[in-house]
């Protein structure tokens, strides 16, 4: 039965079963036809012969009768038309013709059908009539039926052998054809087996000349190539991911839903001191403390990512403070916990160090504040005394007194030193973030009037022309009045100082950057200008365009540095453009909308 579940078996069955069903039908049909035909011919021949003999023997004289009959019957027997003949006369005499066969063993029984009797002889009785028309006797003729039976048997055998030969030849060709058809399929099957054992060199090409099988082979081969490519891609991706995982600097623990370890990467193995596969199928309790595991179970389930801190331990039992980033994912029906366990011993130490540093810094800051307040008082007090007493002496001595010029120098030097101390203290305060803003609502006109008034003498001394132009802008703003005035006086003072017989233009306008409203004060002079390479560090402390400048024009070199920091404090900036010998333009922009109650500490 197994055969009929194979390709050749099905083919054989498909061809042979109909053959086995049809051939006997054809075979029987042929036999019936042949048999009927032969028997009919035989009976026809027998009856015709009987008719001829009957005709021949009629109307003869009685004396001629026996002679003629014997002669003719012998002739018929010799030529094989009849097998035996005998004459039964009316008087009861029986004359057997020479050459007759089997007349003793086969008694006469007239046949009307072929094979009616089992004597193998077809008997016919022919009346013997003389010339007067009287019946003088009967001739018994016998026709041998056995040649017909032999002929039928031969026909049967021939038909049977032909049918058998047909079936055998068909089977032979079917087996060959089935083999021819199934060989490529077997080749595909063998190749598929090899492929299933991951032998990728096996080809599914059939090389068959049968187009369907060839096409099938090509399609399967194409499919195999696609699978191999995809397999390679998957392997490559797997290797890529595995390599990343393995070589991640952070320790990675992957466990199933029951928190049994599936994978530890190199960093995790190193941290927890486990060898390869040693941890496999063990619970995460070999890595994490129970408190931490409880947290994982209660908090991490069905969460994309949570961060936990807790304690773990290595194989030797040494405690490790850990920060865990845990993702809980579900793949098909299995759950996974992906745990990124970071050793935070160093971070904890750094945190501790930072706390100590902060404490130390706070202590230092206190000391610095104390130092600044002390120095502010301790430095300013003697300077104010020097300036004050210089003024008092100057009031008392004559204008012609030769000491007056010395006193003026002392006062000037003391004032310069006080300015310097004030500037240093301002800068220190700004850098220490101790500069406090006092936001008020004020008029820009008032501020400019005061600044112009302060710098008026200097402008006049250098014979400069000062113009102030306030464009269509909001005249009031929320900012720190004193700080902005300090910036404007500083820049305007510089313009007046470095410009002689020139022109100074002050222009005020509003500017909007995104939703940020700015008030801009442009101060443009026609003074000595600044070299381009010096513009870059113009706003650094103790920097002037040229060292010769301080000698010629004076100044501490802190003004622009302080102005810039103050402008930044007012949520603004200062920009500068300059050409040597042509003049300099400073653009001060500050926010107009600093909160009234805002106190910003930087």
Partner 1 sequence: MIASRVRLFLFTIVLLAIPLETLMAGEHELVVITSTKNNFAPIARDDLRRLFLGIKPKHTDIKITPINNKSENILYEVFLQKVIRMSAVAYERHLLSKVFTHGTQRIKTTEEYANLLKELEYNENAISFVWANDLKKNPDIRVVQSIWKGQISQ
Contact range with partner 1 by CB under 8 A, out of 48-56, 288-296, 405-413, 552-560: 48-56
DSSP 3-state assignment of 170? helix
* Span from 50-58, 352-360, 438-446, 495-503 in contact with partner 1 (CB under 8 A): 50-58
By CB under 8 A, residue 517 contacts partner 1: no
Q: Other C-beta atoms within 10 Å of 67: how many?
A: 10
Per-residue contact flags (x/-) with partner 1 for residues 223 to 252, judged by CB under 8 A: ------------------------------
Site string for partner 1, 124-143 (x = CB under 8 A): xx------------------
User: Measured from the CB atom, is 49 or 66 closer to partner 1?
Assistant: 49
Q: Which residues within the stretch 560-589 sit at the binding site for partner 1 (CB under 8 A)?
A: none
Shortest Å distance, C-beta 106 to partner 1:
14
146 in contact with partner 1 (CB under 8 A)? no
Which residue, chain included where needed, has tokens 């870059």? 536
As a whole number of angstroms, the distance between CA 133 and CA 126 comes to 14
56 binds partner 1 (CB under 8 A): no
State the minimum distance, in angstroms, from the CB of residue 149 to partner 1.
9
Please give the DSSP secondary-structure letter assigned to residue 265.
-
CA pseudo-torsion sign 187, 190, 196, 200 = negative
Residue range at the interface with partner 1 (CB under 8 A); choices 94-102, 152-160, 232-240, 334-342: 152-160
User: Among 36-44, 204-212, 349-357, 431-439, which window interacts with partner 1 (CB under 8 A)?
Assistant: 36-44
* Number of residues assigned to the chain: 602
485 contacts: CB under 8 Å, gap ≥ 6: 447, 450, 451
Indicate which single residue of 43, 174, 284, 590 sits in contact with partner 1 (rule: CB under 8 A). Answer: 43
Q: Does 109 bind partner 1 (CB under 8 A)?
A: yes
Which residues, including other chains, have CB under 8 Å from residue 480's CB and lie 6 or more apart? 437, 438, 439, 440, 569, 570, 594
> Considering only 31-39, 72-80, 195-203, 379-387, which stretch makes contact with partner 1 by CB under 8 A?
31-39
Contact pick of 7, 156, 539, 553 for partner 1 (by CB under 8 A): 156
Q: Provide the 8-state DSSP code for 13.
A: H
Strand order across the 94-96 sheet: 94-96, 84-89, 135-144, 121-129
Residue 106 engages partner 1 in binding (rule: CB under 8 A): no
Determine phi and psi for 585, rounding to 5 degrees.
Answer: -125, 125
Minimum CB distance to partner 1, residue 151 (Å):
13
- Asked whether position 110 contacts partner 1 by CB under 8 A, the answer is yes
For the chain, the straight-line distance linking the first and the last C-alpha, in angstroms and rounded, comes to: 97
CA 1 to mean position of chain CA atoms: 48
Nearer to partner 1 by Cβ, of 135 and 467: the residue is 135
**Shortest Å distance, C-beta 51 to partner 1:** 3
Binding to partner 1 by residue 160, rule CB under 8 A? yes
User: Could you write out the DSSP letters of every residue in 105-136?
Assistant: TS---B-SSTTSSTTSEEEEEEEEEBTTS-EE
Calculate the dihedral angle through the C-alpha atoms of 102, 103, 109, 113, rounding to the nearest 10 degrees: 40
Q: Is 50 among the residues that bind partner 1 (CB under 8 A)?
A: yes
Please choose, out of 27-35, 293-301, 407-415, 536-544, the segment that lies near partner 1 by the rule CB under 8 A: 27-35
Positive or negative torsion for Cα 201, 202, 207, 213 = negative
Distance of closest approach, residue 156 Cβ to partner 1, in angstroms: 6
Q: How far is C-alpha 341 from the chain's CA centre?
A: 28
* Residue in 170, 168, 163, 179 with CA at minimum distance from that of residue 9: 179
Q: Is 54 in the site for partner 1 (CB under 8 A)?
A: yes
Tell me if 467 sits within 8 A of 526, measured CB to CB.
Answer: no
Residue of 1, 21, 25, 113 interacting with partner 1 (CB under 8 A): 113
**According to the 3-state scheme, what is the secondary structure of 69-89?**
HHHHHHHHHHCCCCCEEEEEE
Smallest distance, partner 1 to C-beta of residue 111, A: 8
Query: Interface with partner 1 includes 38 (CB under 8 A)?
Result: no
Give me the residue label for tokens 């005998």. 86
Q: Are 74 and 99 in contact (CB under 8 A)?
A: yes
Q: Which residue stretch of 37-45, 235-243, 382-390, 397-405 sits at the interface with partner 1 (rule: CB under 8 A)?
A: 37-45
Check binding of 117 to partner 1 (CB under 8 A): yes
Burial class (CB in 10 A: 0-12, 13-18, 19+), 486: middle
Q: Is 35 in the site for partner 1 (CB under 8 A)?
A: yes
Task: Please say which residue, 118 or 396, places its beta carbon nearer to partner 1.
Answer: 118
The distance of closest approach from Cβ of residue 112 to partner 1 in the complex, given in angstroms and rounded to an integer, is: 4
In terms of phi and psi (left: phi > 0; alpha: psi -120 to 50; beta: otherwise), the region of 386 is alpha
* In the complex, least distance from residue 142 CB atom to partner 1, rounded to whole angstroms: 14
Specify the residue, 7 or 156, whose C-beta has the smaller distance to partner 1: 156
Strand, coil or helix: 547: helix
116 near partner 1 (CB under 8 A) = yes
DSSP assignment of 473-531, as one string? S-SEEEEEHHHHHHHHHHHHHHHHHS-SS-EEEEEEEEEEETTEEEEEEEEEE-SS---
CA gap 488, 502 in Å, rounded = 19
Query: Which residue lies nearer to partner 1 by CB, 94 or 412?
Result: 94
Closest separation between CB of residue 221 and partner 1, Å?
A: 52
The reply to whether 41 sits near partner 1 by the rule CB under 8 A is yes
Asked whether position 162 contacts partner 1 by CB under 8 A, the answer is no
**Contact between 40 and partner 1 (CB under 8 A)?**
yes
Residue nearer to partner 1 on the CB measure, 123 or 498:
123
CB of 120 to partner 1, least distance (A): 13
Q: Which of 30, 74, 96, 115 binds partner 1 (CB under 8 A)?
A: 115
Check binding of 549 to partner 1 (CB under 8 A). Answer: no
7 touching partner 1, by CB under 8 A: no
Residue 90 contacts partner 1 per CB under 8 A: no
What phi, psi does 438 have (nearest 5°)?
-120, 100
By CB under 8 A, is residue 502 in contact with partner 1? no
Shortest Å distance, C-beta 71 to partner 1: 22
Interface residues toward partner 1, by CB under 8 A: 31-32, 35, 40-41, 43-44, 47-48, 50-51, 54, 109-110, 112-113, 115-117, 124-125, 153, 156-157, 160
């Amino acid at each position: 039965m197994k055969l009929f579940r194979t390709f050749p078996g099905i083919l054989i069955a498909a061809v042979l079963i109909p053959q086995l069903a049809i051939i006997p039908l054809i075979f029987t049909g042929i036999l019936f036809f042949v048999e009927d035909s032969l028997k009919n011919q035989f009976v026809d021949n027998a009856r015709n012969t009987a008719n001829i003999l009957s005709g021949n023997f009629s109307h003869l004289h009685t004396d001629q009768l026996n002679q003629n009959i014997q002669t003719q019957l012998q002739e018929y027997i010799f030529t094989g038309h009849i097998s035996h003949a005998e004459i039964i006369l009316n008087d009861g005499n029986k004359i057997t013709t020479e050459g007759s066969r089997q007349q003793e063993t086969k008694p006469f029984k007239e046949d009307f059908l072929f094979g009616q009797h089992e004597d193998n002889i077809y008997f016919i009785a022919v009346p013997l009539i003389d010339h007067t028309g009287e019946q003088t006797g009967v001739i018994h003729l016998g026709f041998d039926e056995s040649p017909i039976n032999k002929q039928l048997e031969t026909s049967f055998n021939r038909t049977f052998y032909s049918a058998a030969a047909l079936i055998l030849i068909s089977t032979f060709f079917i087996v060959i054809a089935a083999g021819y058809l199934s060989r490529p399929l077997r080749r595909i099957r063998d190749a598929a087996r090899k492929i299933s054992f991951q032998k990728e060199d096996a080809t599914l090409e059939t090389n068959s000349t049968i187009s369907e099988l060839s096409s099938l082979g090509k399609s399967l081969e194409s499919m195999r190539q696609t699978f191999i490519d995809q397999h390679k891609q998957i392997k490559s991706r797997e290797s890529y991911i595995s390599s990343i995982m393995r070589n991640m600097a952070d320790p990675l623990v992957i466990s199933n839903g029951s928190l049994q370890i599936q994978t530890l990467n190199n960093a995790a193995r190193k941290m927890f001191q486990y060898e390869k596969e040693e941890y496999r199928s063990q619970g995460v309790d070999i890595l994490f403390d129970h408190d931490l595991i409880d947290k994982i179970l209660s908090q991490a389930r069905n969460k994309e990512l949570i961060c936990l801190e807790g304690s773990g331990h290595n194989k030797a039992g040494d405690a490790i403070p850990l920060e865990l980033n845990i993702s809980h994912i579900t793949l098909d029906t299995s759950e996974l916990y992906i745990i990124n366990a970071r050793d935070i011993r160093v971070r904890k130490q750094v945190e501790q160090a930072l706390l100590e540093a902060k404490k130390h810094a706070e202590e230092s800051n206190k000391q610095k504040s104390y130092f600044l307040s002390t120095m502010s008082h301790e430095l300013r007090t003697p300077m104010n005394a020097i300036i004050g007493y210089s003024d008092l002496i100057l009031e008392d001595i004559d204008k012609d007194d030769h000491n007056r010029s010395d006193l003026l120098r002392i006062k000037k030097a003391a004032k310069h030193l006080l300015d310097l101390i004030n500037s240093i203290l301002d800068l220190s305060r700004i850098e220490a973030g101790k500069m406090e803003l006092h936001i008020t609502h004020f008029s820009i006109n008032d501020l400019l009037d005061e600044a112009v008034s302060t710098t008026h003498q200097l402008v006049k001394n250098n014979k400069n022309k000062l113009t102030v132009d306030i464009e269509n802008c909001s005249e009031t703003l929320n900012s720190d009045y004193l700080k902005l005035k300090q910036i404007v006086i500083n820049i305007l003072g510089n313009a007046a100082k470095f410009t002689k017989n020139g022109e100074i233009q002050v222009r005020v306008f509003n500017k909007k950057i995104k939703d940020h409203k700015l008030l801009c004060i442009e101060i443009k002079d026609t003074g000595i200008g600044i070299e381009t390479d010096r513009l870059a560090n113009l706003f650094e402390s103790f920097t002037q365009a040229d060292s010769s400048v301080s000698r010629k024009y004076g100044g501490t070199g802190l003004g622009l540095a302080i102005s810039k920091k103050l402008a930044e404090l007012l949520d603004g900036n200062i920009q500068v453009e300059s050409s040597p010998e042509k003049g300099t333009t400073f653009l001060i922009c500050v926010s107009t909308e600093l909160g009234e109650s805002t106190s910003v500490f930087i």
